[in-house]
Amino acid sequence: MLIARLCQVFDQFDVPYALVGGHAVALHGAVRGTVDVDVVIEWRREVLERAVAALESLGLRSSLPLVAGDVFEHRDRYLEERNLVAWNFVDHDNPLHQVDLLINFDLSGHVVANIHTAFGELRVLNKQDLIEMKRASGRPQDLEDIRALESL
Domain containing 94 — which CATH number? 3.30.460.40
Give the whole-angstrom CA distance, residue 45 versus residue 114: 24
- What are the E-state strand segments in 1-152? 17-20, 37-41, 61-62, 86-91, 94-102, 112-117, 120-125
Residue 134 is assigned to a structural domain of this protein: yes
Residue 7 is assigned to a structural domain of this protein: yes
Q: In the predicted model, what is the mean pLDDT of the chain? A: 95
Tell me which H or E stretch contains 77.
Answer: helix 75-82
pLDDT digits (tens, 9 = 90+) for 135-145: 999 899 999 99
Query: What distance lies between CA 44 and its chain's CA centroid?
Result: 15
Residue 87 is assigned to a structural domain of this protein: yes
Q: For the chain, state the CA radius of gyration.
A: 15
- In this prediction the pTM is 0.94
40 secondary structure, DSSP code: E
Model confidence band, residue 120 (pLDDT cutoffs 50, 70, 90): confident
